[in-house]
Amino acid sequence: MVLFSVLDLAPVIEGGDAALAFRNSADLARHAEQWGYHRFWLAEHHNMPGIASAATTVVIGHVAAATTTIRVGAGGVMLPNHAPLIIAEQFGTLASLYPGRIDLGLGRAPGTDQLTARALRRHLGGGADSFPDDVVELQSYFRASAATQPVQAVPGAGLEVPLYLLGSSDFSARLAAQLGLPFAFASHFAPEYLHVALELYRRNFRPSVASPKPHVIVGAGVYVADTDAEAQRLFTSAQQQVLALIRGRPSLLPPPVETMDGRWSAAEERAILQRMRCAAVGSPETVRRQLRALLDETAADEVIAVAQIFDHAARLRSFEMAAHIFAGLNSAAAR
């Protein structure tokens, strides 16, 4: 059975604000729980006007408090921005408040531009180069503390918060395999190295207590509506936001438009279509075919779906229809 989950970027829409984004995230999580989604992850980004989840741990607590059974976590925390002990204490706190429901996905990118990264960390003495050591250090804080251990995570020690490594290249794939951790590939925005990374991860995986066998999560944009045309219209909000980003002007999530013609150059169109190649967009039948193809292509254990849809009701409807599609795919595979 393939698990299906939600990656929420807490979108700030034009005409809205962060408070509205947080209300919508909690509402989506409550519905996702009812529709059978396995987990609900939030992502750390900084200096991005259209993404409200910069204080990722705080938003995870907000969502976990609004739900009762769905797993909630980070997809992910950008570890170079933080001391491992701080993350252990924060997620130890979350795991104590919401036992058995908290995940910790880790990325090695800063989740922002270099200028903002300097503002976050004040100095760049650590960063991506120390990521493997930081992950191992973080793991140590979640194990039961030894009497001689001089620094302990309180809370955190002994809680064994599940760790996941995130990436868009082969680096985190190799590290996840070496450490025996589940691996999530960011194919929803960077699909170029998808197959290389998954092959390396599976081939080099070392079983561990945390994960006795490889567990592959792939990200996918999922935009479902009653018709292909309406889904494509909803999708234009995400396309416009990515266009603003590649032009160096990050934006709020804009309302959809009838067509992207005239809004991007031919080169920009090619770049965005390639970047969003793993998006499933269309009517339920169209999206079912696209997701089936993605699963056949990757043999993923889990799909985590993201949908930057301007209208909250339309976003809820898209995730509801996607839940039925995922359930149908699992039923067909079981026959």
CB distance 69 to 39 below 8 Å: no
Q: In terms of domains, do 138 and 232 share one?
A: no
Q: In terms of domains, do 88 and 223 share one?
A: no
Mean local confidence (pLDDT), 302-326? 98
Report yes or no on 290 lying in a domain: yes
Lowest pLDDT segment from 23-27, 122-126, 239-243: 122-126
Mean local confidence (pLDDT), 2-11? 98
Nearest to 301 by CA among 190, 233, 205, 217: 217
**What is the DSSP code string of 204-231?**
H----SS-SS--EEEEEEEEE-SSHHHH
Among 139, 161, 183, the domain boundary falls at: 161
Q: In terms of domains, do 2 and 143 share one?
A: yes
CA distance 76 to 65: 19
Report yes or no on 277 lying in a domain: yes
Question: Which residue's entry shows tokens 């416009």?
Answer: 240
Q: In terms of domains, do 235 and 316 share one?
A: yes
Mean local confidence (pLDDT), 125-152? 83
Q: Please give the tally of structural domains in the chain.
A: 2
**What is the DSSP code string of 228-295?**
HHHHHHHHHHHHHHHHHHHTT---PBPPP-S--TTTS-HHHHHHHHHHTTT-EEESHHHHHHHHHHHH
Half-sphere exposure of 296 (CA within 13 A, CB side): 8
Global pTM reads 0.94
Q: In terms of domains, do 80 and 154 share one?
A: yes
Residue 9 has pLDDT above 80, yes or no: yes
pLDDT confidence tier of residue 130, bands split at 50, 70 and 90: confident
One-letter amino acid of 191: P
Report yes or no on 32 lying in a domain: yes
Q: Which domain holds residue 276?
A: 218-335
CA distance 211 to 179: 9
pLDDT at 109: 77
Residue 107 phi, psi (nearest 5): -120, 160
Q: In terms of domains, do 3 and 150 share one?
A: yes
Report yes or no on 323 lying in a domain: yes
48-107, pLDDT tens digit by residue? 999 999 999 999 999 999 999 999 999 999 999 999 999 999 999 999 999 999 999 999
Q: In terms of domains, do 237 and 102 share one?
A: no
Beta bridge partners of 3: 302
Q: In terms of domains, do 9 and 103 share one?
A: yes
CATH number at 122 reads 3.20.20.30
CB distance 40 to 61 below 8 Å: no
Report yes or no on 178 lying in a domain: no
pLDDT confidence tier of residue 121, bands split at 50, 70 and 90: low
Report yes or no on 17 lying in a domain: yes
What six digits make up the tokens of 150? 């001089």
Residue 10 has pLDDT above 70, yes or no: yes
Q: In terms of domains, do 127 and 248 share one?
A: no
Report yes or no on 269 lying in a domain: yes
Among 161, 193, 227, the domain boundary falls at: 161
pLDDT at 148: 73
Q: In terms of domains, do 120 and 246 share one?
A: no
Among 161, 183, 205, the domain boundary falls at: 161
Q: In terms of domains, do 9 and 146 share one?
A: yes
pLDDT at 169: 87
Report yes or no on 186 lying in a domain: no
Q: In terms of domains, do 138 and 261 share one?
A: no
CA distance 286 to 294: 13
Lowest pLDDT segment from 55-69, 98-112, 164-178, 285-299: 98-112
